[in-house]
Amino acid sequence: MYKISEVAKITGFSIPTLRYYEELGISAPAKNKSGYREYSEADIEWLRFIQRLKQTGMALETIKKYSELRSQGNQTIEKRMKLLATQKKRLLSERRKIDDHLAFLETKQTTYKQMLADREQ
C-alpha cells in the first residue's frame, strides 16, 4: 500500500490532482482506520492509464465517464471501446492536420531552396 505522497511521486500527479480525481470519482483509493488514503498497485496502474488518456488529449469529463463505465463492470466494455474509438478519431484528425502543416512547410522550404539555386546561376 502506498501513501498519497508516494503515489504523487510515482505517477507525477500532484497531491491536489489525486484528491480532485477522488472527488470526481475517477479514482477510489482505500482509506485506513485513521482515514488516510492507501493506494494499491491496481490503483497506481489505473492512475497510469488515466495519465495516458490525458496524454492523448482526452477531456477529463470523458475520462470520468470512462471511469464510471469501468466501475460498472464488463457489461460496459463496448461503451468504453466507443469512447476510445472517438478519441482515436480525434487523434487521427489532428495527425492529418499536422501532416498538412508539415507538407506546407516542406513545400515552402523547397521553393526557397530553388530560389537560392536559381540565384547562384
For position 106, which CATH number holds? 1.10.1660.10
**pLDDT tens-digit profile of 1-53?**
889 999 999 999 999 999 999 999 999 999 888 888 899 999 999 999 999 99
Beta bridge partners of 31: 37
Give residue 103's domain range: 4-120
Q: What is the pLDDT of residue 119?
A: 86
For the chain, what is the domain count?
1
Residue 43 CB partners (closer than 8 Å, separation 6+): 2, 7, 27, 28, 29
The span from the CA of 36 to the CA of 67, in Å, is 22
**pLDDT tens-digit profile of 85-102?**
999 999 999 999 999 999
pTM of the predicted structure, to 2 decimals: 0.79
Q: With cut-offs at 50, 70 and 90, classify the pLDDT of residue 118.
A: confident
Q: What is the DSSP string of 30-88?
A: EE-TTS-EEB-HHHHHHHHHHHHHHHTT--HHHHHHHHHHHHT-GGGHHHHHHHHHHHH
What value does the mean pLDDT take over residues 67-78? Answer: 95
Which cell goes with 89? 478519431
